[in-house]
Amino acid sequence: MMVNFADKAVFGLAADEIRADLGLSATRFGLANSAFFLLFSLSAVVVGVLADRLSLKWLLLVMALLWSVAQVPPALGGGLAVLVGTRVVLGAAEGPAFPVAQQIAFSWFPNHRRNLPGALVTLGVTFGVITAAPTLTWVIDRHGWCSALWALAVAGLVWGAAWFGLGAIGRHREDRPGADPSGDEETGEETGAASGRASSWAAYRRVFGSRTWIGVTLAYFTSYWGVALMLVWLPSYLKNALGYSSGAAGTLVAVPWAVGAVVLLGQAAVTGRLMRRGVPSRWARGRVGAALLAVGALCLLGLPLVNGHAAKAVLLFLGFGFGGSFAAIAATTVAEVAPPRRRGGSLGTMNALVTTAGLIAPTVVGAMVDAQGHAGYQNAALAYAALLLVGALAAAVLIDPQRDAARTGAPLPERNRP
């Protein structure tokens, strides 16, 4: 996930350089970044379904190799068409990464122990940006943005080699007695009413029609809107609207991700403690997630009320840090409500719908900046705050995994089995 999000962050870090090199307006640059998400969502669905049948280890390896290859054409040179085309390919390869990575992590832990592992995988996103922001900014300033793409291609290949030698799947992939410990292939026949339901495509319809899945998807969509803005427009916001230098912006852009890391770990600790005490998931996951989104919204709504760039930056970092921290809750909640052999498709489809925010947000904000100038950045943050409030309401009202698991055919959590 660190490599995955460094790949995503590089264009935001090099936004001004790329726009100057290729003569792009803010709107056209936003469209180029939105192209990344053109096949991102579709591939998340397709690979998510395949993940229920194929080796998770090999799926992730193939995706990572494609990430690396996709960096090469724009690094060699070319215009806007090359840039857009390779971003489409990169998006298709990276779209399924988060749900597949979460599935692999979950395969090593029972349901009530998945909060911390899920948060740690999500922290890869944060660490990817925290390490990439200053490092890639330095490379871009001294050697140009094409050199940053070469660095990312090498990083992906190195990770692929390490994963090929060390990657493995845990024994909890199926969440049922007698499951194949390797988790690499489907084995055996399922028994029982729940397993019978899970073995048919109707199981997907039950999951997608559940209030929990709908609530998680809505809430995560609003959260991911901010993730897309942080990746594409936050460096420009800091430089153009708040007056920070390129070097300072390259460092400060990591701050909201660092805030998100602290929030993620805190959320994992709180959620895990509540669930070990027997608190229902609608509170331990749904209401905790709603609170994170609400805090983020309130921070961003305070932007017009403060003066000074430093005060605005603090509220901005807190708002994006809290608002963008719903991913781990989304993954663990869907994993709880989906039958094991439909978990990949359920996570992948959620991710596909959620990441359409990445297709829309960069273009919308680019148009706002072109139309409103520097004021467009703050207005975009306020619009994001309004979305977060909608997401918080959806999480608080709709999420109840224990209620919906009985309808979808998901197994009882391991700790509750006889």
Answer yes or no: is 188 within a domain: no
Answer yes or no: is 192 within a domain: no
Nearest C-alpha neighbor of 88 from the set 48, 40, 46, 42: 40
Amino acid, single-letter form, for residue 56: L
Q: What are the backbone angles phi and psi of residue 339, rounded to the nearest 5°?
A: -60, 145
Answer yes or no: is 316 within a domain: yes
Please say whether the beta carbons of 318 and 18 come within 8 A: no
Triad 172, 174, 179: Cα angle to 5°: 85
Which residues fall within 8 angstroms of residue 108, CB to CB, at 6 or more apart?
117, 170, 171, 172
Please say whether the beta carbons of 25 and 364 come within 8 A: no
What tokens does 25 get? Answer: 């307006």
Q: What is the CATH number of the domain that holds 227?
A: 1.20.1250.20
Q: Write the pLDDT tens digit of every residue in 115-141.
A: 888 888 988 888 888 888 888 889 998
Answer yes or no: is 178 within a domain: no
Nearest C-alpha neighbor of 70 from the set 158, 159, 184, 157: 157
Please say whether the beta carbons of 350 and 213 come within 8 A: yes
Nearest C-alpha neighbor of 343 from the set 21, 135, 73, 105: 105
Answer yes or no: is 68 within a domain: yes
Please say whether the beta carbons of 274 and 283 come within 8 A: yes
Residue 288 is classified by DSSP as H
The whole-angstrom separation of Cα 334 and Cα 352 is 14
Answer yes or no: is 359 within a domain: yes
What tokens does 191 get? Answer: 């028994």
Q: How many domains does the chain have?
A: 1
CA dihedral 318, 228, 154, 17 (to 10 degrees): -90
The whole-angstrom separation of Cα 416 and Cα 165 is 36
- Burial (Cβ within 10 Å: 0-12, 13-18, ≥19) of residue 383: middle
Answer yes or no: is 412 within a domain: no
Domain with 125, as residue range(s), is 2-170+207-407
Helices (H), 277-324: 281, 288-301, 309-323
Hunting for tokens 């919906």 — which residue is that? 404
The whole-angstrom separation of Cα 145 and Cα 136 is 8
Weakly modelled stretches of the chain, pLDDT under 50: 176-200, 415-418
Label each residue of 10-74 as H, E or C.
HHHHCHHHHHHHHCCCHHHHHHHHHHHHCCHHHHHHHHHHHCCCCCHHHHHHHHHHHHHHHCHHH
Please say whether the beta carbons of 50 and 186 come within 8 A: no
Answer yes or no: is 182 within a domain: no
